[in-house]
Amino acid sequence: MIKPVIYAVALRNLLGHLRRTMLTVGAIAVGLSALIFLWSFNDGLHRNMLQNFQDAIIGSIQIHHEGFFERPELSRHLRNPDKIITTVEQAGVKRWSRRLEAFALAASDETTEGVMLIGMEADREPVITDLGKRISIGRFLREDDEYACILGATTARNLKLGLGDPVVMIGYDRFGALVAEEFTLVGIITSGEMGLDRGMALTNIKSLQEMLDMPDGVTDIVLRTPEDRIQQLTDELIFALSDENVEVMPWSTMFPVMHEWIILHDGFLYLFLAVVLFIVLAGELNTMLLSMLERTREFGIFMAIGTERYEIGLMLVFEALFIGLAGTLLGIVFGTGIVLVTHSTGIDLSILLGSTSRFYVDSLVYPHLNLDHLGTTVGAILIASIIAGLYPAWKASRLQPVEAMRNV
Amino acid sequence: MIQPDNSSAIITVKKLHKCYWVGSMPFPALNGVNLSIDRGEFAVLAGRSGSGKSTLLNVIGALESADNGEVIVNGENILGMNHTERTLFRLHNIGFVFQSFNLIRVLSARENIAYVCQLQGMDKKESEGIADHWLNEVDMGHLGYRRPDQLSGGQQQRVAVARALATNPKIVLADEPTANLDTQTGQRLMCLLQQLNDKFGTTFLISSHDPDVKNAARRLIKLADGQVVRKWEKIPPAPPPISKACPIKNLPLAGRIRQFLRKKRKRPSKTGEKGPTPRRS
């Protein structure tokens, strides 16, 4: 059993060398608070990026007919969308919307341009995406619109179209027959994102169903759900819809590049964590070794008056642990303090980076404290602190009392 | 494991050899020491620097091992013990008083004493009670909350004595306890050790080349070149009445006479005659 006096003496040793202790504690606190801030900034950035990415058009999860994502053909429309929606609602999802997608050629009087024509439910779409907020000229779709359309700014400019101008959409129905309809341009999207500004046309789902002669035809059901529930919900829906010949795809499967980029970005931070840990380890090891060398004589006295070797070792490990704990607590206070302040004010990246919208990042980023990352960082710092105490502890416990007491 | 020994000898050293090595050069420190110390003795190991006093004390105190021989302390052969057994043996049997006091500088006087008690398994309250008791025994009760750097050398050595006795050891080993003290403080310390020896019957083995310490000895053992060359008992251990006021009163008769003569020699006479030259013991 460890005698309480060993803890007490370890603590007293630290207080007896307060300046050195505070310097080490301060170094750990600065390292940890920097890590907490960086993790939170990174998490805030990713949150913002994913939010914007999903808000833009893709949603959190999409349900298609099997193989539609690879080859988006109208023949691969959903056979039983109402049953799928019932299943989705039973899974607790309220934010869903139906879409019908088809390739088309948009033609103005002057020229033509290939677009992905997306029929949307004008009343439900705002709960899935924020396309309405990205309209720079005109307005978003309304439920009662007939053959109204919205184009990206680049497409509209290429077609030399303005608000109220007619635009003819030419496409193929599900049987391969050529179909065409005239739409009226009611809005132009300027997002700064390539995928939205060029090559996309939005219209009411009913208008597109009529044009393609697919009453109630649906190719996608798009869902929104919090990020931490996406995987679980995907698994639930795959299981529940196993008889429906559908594919349930989270955004990370549809656009793995974005997912991998986030993993890579996190990897950089883990690398940074390793560097900080190394610095903390080296700094604390240096302090502990210095302290051990300075107190060699004292350890000799401790041993001479009856302190066992393992108790000497424990004393140093406790000292390292106390330093680690104090540094960690201080680091948590400083780090979370900085995160809380910047979370309320935001960090304006436009000063540093100019336009960040191409990366789905707002110019104002709000750091977000992720408890998993906080736990990992704090745990790693504490473990590093204990490791820093082990070598000096081992060295001190091997001392011979008489030789140690001769040390000046 | 401590085995009670009913024989009168608490320390028995037989044919003890210890050699230090500097590179390939041997430096014999103890060269066949034979020695026996009885329970309750107040003995002094005398000898020049390098005679082996400290090494012998360290070996008896289980702080160092030896090359050959036998050291029985309180019925235990300490040379056969491993590091941990030696540590525990020291904790339960031996109190140390060192030349440079060797108090733990981050602990107060009271905590220094309570520390060893807590190592023995006492709780904080009990150990603090014992610390207070021993601080009072050495007249340091009022300075218990001071740290070693806030105490004079003599005060620190008193705390060290209290620490050595707080665990109720069988033996107190003191290595040059007065070397870092002025003459008067050294004498006071020796008086204190004698008082404690008389009062509690603890065995004291002190190494020193300080004449005052030798004067205070009830048994003097002289070492030279790692061997015991002379040993004699000076005064029977019957305790004289103790007075804290006059340190000289506490010294044995021979020492008191010697001290008196020394003082007389220092005081120049009116006629300019020199006082008698004191004889070396």
Q: Which of B2, B70, B87, B80 is nearest to B36 (CA)?
A: B70
Closest chain A CA to residue B101: A301
Q: How far apart are CA B17 and CA A403, in angstroms?
A: 19
If you average pLDDT over residues B187-205, what whole number do you get? 87
Q: Do A9 and B115 touch (CB under 8 A)?
A: yes
Contact A215, A157 (CB under 8 A): no
Q: Is B237's pLDDT higher than 80?
A: no
Q: Which of A3, A298, A308 sits opposite B87 (nearest CB)?
A: A308
Buried/exposed B49-76: b ≥16 CB within 10 Å, e otherwise:
eebbbbbbbbbbbbbbbbeebebbbbbb
Give all domains of chain B, ordered by start, each with its CATH number. Answer: 35-53+78-266 (3.40.50.300)
Q: Do A307 and B83 touch (CB under 8 A)?
A: no
Q: Do A302 and B104 touch (CB under 8 A)?
A: yes
Residues of chain A with pLDDT under 70: 193-194, 352-359, 408
Q: Do B96 and A303 touch (CB under 8 A)?
A: no
Q: Is B270's pLDDT higher than 70?
A: no
Instruction: Please list the alpha-helical segments (H only) found in A241-308.
Output: 251-254, 256-294, 296-304
Distances (CA, A) of A194 to A115, A153, A155, A200, B131: 13, 10, 11, 10, 81
Where are the extended beta strands (E) located within A342-408?
347-348, 364-365
DSSP letter for each residue of A112-139: EEEEEEEEE-TTTGGGT--GGGGEEEE-
How far apart are the CA of B145 and the nearest CA of chain A, in angstroms? 14
The answer to whether A229 faces chain B, any CB pair under 8 Å, is: no
**Using one digit for the tens of pLDDT, what is the confidence trace for B63-93?**
999 999 999 999 999 998 999 999 999 999 9
Q: Do A305 and B105 touch (CB under 8 A)?
A: no
**What interface predicted TM-score (ipTM) does this complex get?**
0.79
Tokens for B65, please give them. Answer: 């091992």
pLDDT at position B160 is: 92
Q: Do B91 and A9 touch (CB under 8 A)?
A: no
Element (H, E) at B230: strand B227-233
Total CB pairs under 8 A between chain A and B = 67
pLDDT at position A55 is: 84
* Eight-state DSSP code of residue A164: T
Contacts of A307 in chain B (CB under 8 A): 87, 119
Q: Which of A9, A16, A303 sits opposite B87 (nearest CB)?
A: A303
Strand partners, A187: A138, A150
pLDDT at position B246 is: 41
Region of B112 (left: φ > 0; alpha: ψ -120 to 50; beta: rest) is alpha
Q: How far apart are CA A276 and CA A273, in angstroms?
A: 5
Q: Is B27's pLDDT higher than 50?
A: yes
Q: How far apart are CA A263 and CA A254, in angstroms?
A: 16
Q: How far apart are CA B185 and CA B188, in angstroms?
A: 5
Residue B250 pLDDT class (50, 70, 90 cuts):
very low
pLDDT at position A180 is: 92
Contact B72, B3 (CB under 8 A): no
DSSP letter for each residue of B7-26: SSEEEEEEEEEEEEEETTEE
SS3 state of residue B6:
coil
**Using one digit for the tens of pLDDT, what is the confidence trace for A49-80?**
888 888 888 899 999 999 999 988 888 999 99
The answer to whether B58 faces chain A, any CB pair under 8 Å, is: yes
Cα R_g (chain B), whole angstroms: 19
Distances (CA, A) of A192 to A10, A195, A357: 60, 9, 6
Q: How many CA atoms lie within 13 A of A110 on its CB side?
A: 9
Where are the extended beta strands (E) located within A267-398?
347-348, 364-365
Q: Do B88 and A306 touch (CB under 8 A)?
A: yes
Q: Which of A5, A297, A309 sits opposite B118 (nearest CB)?
A: A5
Q: Do B91 and A5 touch (CB under 8 A)?
A: no
**Using one digit for the tens of pLDDT, what is the confidence trace for B38-66?**
999 999 999 888 889 999 999 999 999 99
Contacts of B106 in chain A (CB under 8 A): 9, 12-13, 15-16
Chain A interface test: which of B87, B105, B125, B150 (most A C-beta within 10 Å): B87
**Segment among A237-246, A333-342, B127-136, B192-201 with least mean pLDDT:** B192-201
Q: Do B84 and A13 touch (CB under 8 A)?
A: no
Contacts of A17 (CB under 8 A, 6+ apart): A291
Q: Which of A12, A15, A306 sits opposite B87 (nearest CB)?
A: A306
Q: Do B107 and A12 touch (CB under 8 A)?
A: yes
If you average pLDDT over residues B225-239, what whole number do you get? 68
pLDDT at position B260 is: 56
The answer to whether A340 faces chain B, any CB pair under 8 Å, is: no
Closest chain A CA to residue B62: A304
Residues 272-301, chain A: which have Cβ within 8 Å of B? 297-298, 301
Residue B4 pLDDT class (50, 70, 90 cuts):
very low
Q: How far apart are CA A286 and CA A61, in angstroms?
A: 52
Q: Which of A157, A168, A151 is nearest to A202 (CA)?
A: A151
Crossing angle of helices A309-345 and A371-397, in 10° steps, is 160
pLDDT at position B244 is: 47
* Pairing label, strands A148-152, A200-204: antiparallel
Q: Do A402 and B64 touch (CB under 8 A)?
A: yes
The 10 Å Cβ neighbour count of residue A96 is 21
Contact A343, A368 (CB under 8 A): yes
Q: Which amino acid is at A354?
A: G
pLDDT at position B241 is: 45
How far apart are the CA of A403 and the nearest CA of chain B, in angstroms? 9
Q: How far apart are CA B66 and CA B64, in angstroms?
A: 7
**Using one digit for the tens of pLDDT, what is the confidence trace for A96-120?**
999 999 999 999 888 999 999 999 9
Q: Which of B63, B91, B92 sits opposite A402 (nearest CB)?
A: B63
pLDDT at position A143 is: 87
Contacts of B104 in chain A (CB under 8 A): 9, 298, 301-302
Closest chain B CA to residue A13: B106
Residue B7 pLDDT class (50, 70, 90 cuts):
low
If you average pLDDT over residues B105-112, what whole number do you get? 92
How far apart are the CA of B148 and the nearest CA of chain A, in angstroms? 12
Chain B interface test: which of A7, A297, A305, A400 (most B C-beta within 10 Å): A305
Tokens for A97, please give them. Answer: 């919307």
* Pairing label, strands A364-365, A135-138: unpaired
Percent of chain B with pLDDT over 90: 43
pLDDT at position A240 is: 92
Q: Do A16 and B64 touch (CB under 8 A)?
A: no
* Pairing label, strands A347-348, A246-250: unpaired
Q: Is B278's pLDDT higher than 50?
A: no
The 10 Å Cβ neighbour count of residue A337 is 13
Q: Is B247's pLDDT higher than 60?
A: no
* Eight-state DSSP code of residue A58: I
Contact B161, B138 (CB under 8 A): yes
Residues 91-120, chain B: which have Cβ within 8 Å of A? 91-92, 96, 98, 102-107, 111, 114-116, 118-120
Q: Which of A16, A305, A306 sits opposite B105 (nearest CB)?
A: A16
Q: Is B259's pLDDT higher than 80?
A: no
Which position has the higher pLDDT, B259 or B52?
B52
Q: How far apart are CA A346 and CA A351, in angstroms?
A: 13
Q: Which of A283, A238, A194 is nearest to A91 (CA)?
A: A238
Contact A400, A92 (CB under 8 A): no
The answer to whether A401 faces chain B, any CB pair under 8 Å, is: yes
Q: Do B120 and A304 touch (CB under 8 A)?
A: no
Residue B258 pLDDT class (50, 70, 90 cuts):
low
The answer to whether A353 faces chain B, any CB pair under 8 Å, is: no
